[in-house]
Structure 1
């Protein structure tokens, strides 16, 4: 059954806002407007995508009726903008991370509960069909109880974001650094598979990325309840790869994002079995996220990631940043050099 197009406002049309706009248009189920204060960017995006409603301020944009709005601004502005949308009766889809601090999150959750508006957080990994299939298998008990989750990821960030040093990335207060920019995706996905992180320690450093001082390399040891977890991420290696492995009592499942595939092995030393998703472009995956959000707006589905779930991931990433700054998480060993 065909549905009437939803009126959706994109707030902020940097790289991720532009992708939301483009992929929403690809669904052919959305009438899209945009809000962007930077004139050259606003004019370029409006012209390139033939967007008639382009506003220079949120005040002016909200004079129009909208079913939903995508909050694609720096992370430190997500909560106040989302609150404005909820107060205006507009369902927000908030880019990840939910925020850079917990201030205001409880109030947003209370406002959503009070108004009964739907809201989601755009952790796009949850829209990946391979991860969804792997989660379904885990929840169905195909491999028994999860025991351990191991995540290894890296990419050459300047190749994919050439202007990263001139954006929010160099400022943790705006959502920058590898932990809030990239690791948050991995943590959110792992929590979706095996449950929330309950305990952790972390180490991180700036090792290579030019023209920034925030961390580009992160290691984390975590507990997801009884499930042991480990995360290793950098944003400067040559291969663009990510693997998320869940070891269970009766088998192992692995998501390989760089191959758009998940694989599994139930018998020791047997060949991997696998399912590969045939994406023609990266936009196919993001368009799946937009279709899922349109299903939510139509009352046909629940959000892929709720605000409460993203709040849990925010707590975890904040704890990682805090743990990395403390010395009490380390055991100092006596070496031959210190003995000499």
Structure 2
């Protein structure tokens, strides 16, 4: 059993706690500063070890630390966990600024501990299969990538007005909270974003001022891209489409399937459909991270890849605020 400390007992922390338990491979403990919440989760998941602070938790020997706090706390906590000898899984996004990134890389080099960032699309078998098909050259060279996504955020996160989401500085807003997942997946499929333009606004969500609607135009080297996302529409839908020289492929997150089309004027053909419940991706993600620790397999999303997506997040925010094209470097 891999001794695993979950840091943060909010919505995503509770999910990681539950899903690491479900792997059957982890002995899970919790670090949560809120005493009432810590007690509730202790009872709900029959935890035998809990801690009120990371300092207290790291006095014990843990193999892995899963950092599920607001994003501006990720980097210092990751460094602290590495220095304590643990491998780390950091929730997305990697951070909200570039502050401390060099020191994190130095800690990774010094400790030689495995590290991964929790962009959960990379655990989806549909995205994995679609990437393998694109990389094989089956559809030719990618030339364009598009995404249209939206959901009614209050339905899935009813406490959004009371958590990190209310401020960009803590990782809030549609860009850092939701669009970052799609951008990271897109970069994995067709390569890193090199420049972009964006528009964003707060349109609907009550009780917050951060953006809930965003449109982005991207360049991934020679590949053109566009991304549209909101967090207030009634249907929960997400389509990510890659247009190649000899065909097109599409991932539908809301239907857990991927499609292809190669004949002009033809209908989409279903390549694979996957039966997945909401926790399944996070269990797969937990298993993949435990594999990194046990077997030395490659992380699903490296810190370097997450840093690239962080630079894109920051460029989208800048482009939306300044209404101009921004180079990602």
Same fold at TM > 0.5: yes
Instruction: Assess if the C-alpha contact under 8 Å between 1:109 and 1:308 holds in 2.
Output: no
Instruction: Assess if the C-alpha contact under 8 Å between 2:184 and 2:309 holds in 1.
Output: yes
1:25 aligns with one of 3, 21, 28: 21
User: Which residue of the partner structure matches residue 304 of structure 1?
Assistant: 300
SS of equivalent to 1:130:
helix
Find the aligned partners of 1:16 and 1:328 in 2 and give their Cα distance.
Answer: 34
Find the aligned partners of 1:19 and 1:122 in 2 and give their Cα distance.
Answer: 12
Larger radius of gyration: 1
Q: What does 1:72-83 correspond to in 2, within 5 Å?
A: 72-83=68-79
User: Which residue of the partner structure matches residue 172 of structure 2?
Assistant: 176
User: Which residue of the partner structure matches residue 278 of structure 1?
Assistant: 275
Runs of at least 5 residues in structure 1 that lack an aligned partner in the other structure? 331-340
Instruction: Assess if the C-alpha contact under 8 Å between 1:247 and 1:253 holds in 2.
Output: yes
Confirm or deny that 1:52 pairs with 2:55.
Answer: no
User: Which residue of the partner structure matches residue 267 of structure 1?
Assistant: 263
Q: How many residues align?
A: 325
Instruction: Assess if the C-alpha contact under 8 Å between 1:98 and 1:314 holds in 2.
Output: yes
Q: What does 1:105-254 correspond to in 2, within 5 Å?
A: 105-254=101-250
TM-superposed CA distance for 1:273, in Å, is 2.2
Find the aligned partners of 2:265 and 2:282 in 1 and give their Cα distance.
Answer: 35
Point out the more displaced range, 113-122 or 246-255. Answer: 113-122
SS of equivalent to 2:209:
coil
Instruction: Assess if the C-alpha contact under 8 Å between 1:37 and 1:57 holds in 2.
Output: yes
TM-score when normalising by structure 2: 0.97
**Which whole-Å deviations, capped at 9, do the CAs of 1:23-81 have from their partners, x for residues lacking one?**
11111000000000100100000110001101101111111110000000000000000
TM-superposed CA distance for 1:115, in Å, is 1.9
SS of equivalent to 1:242:
strand
SS of equivalent to 1:73:
coil
- The 4+ residue runs of structure 1 with deviation greater than 2 A are 269-273, 327-330
Confirm or deny that 1:41 pairs with 2:44.
Answer: no
SS of equivalent to 1:252:
strand
Confirm or deny that 1:13 pairs with 2:9.
Answer: yes
